[in-house]
Amino acid sequence: MIGDVLCFHVQDSLLSAGKIDTALLNPICRLAGPNYATVGQILQR
């Protein structure tokens, strides 16, 4: 399946300097089958 994201909403408390703060968001992702993953250590340059 291929699609285009046309619009999304973000809770104001997740924004920092106009960008989504990934640490506050604490996202998860769906892998194959029943498997999920989380974001590990976040490094900044």
User: According to the model, what pLDDT value does residue 45 have?
Assistant: 81
Q: What is the pLDDT of residue 43?
A: 82
Q: List, for residues 11-39, the tens digit of each pLDDT value.
A: 999 999 999 998 899 999 999 999 999 98
Nearest to 42 by CA among 26, 18, 19: 26
- Reduced to 3 states (helix: H, G, I; strand: E, B; else coil), residue 21 is coil
Q: Is the pLDDT of residue 44 over 90?
A: no
What letter represents residue 41's amino acid? Q
d(CA 42, CA 28): 14
Confidence at 4, pLDDT banded by 50, 70, 90:
very high
Residue type, position 13, single letter: S
DSSP assignment letter at 24: H
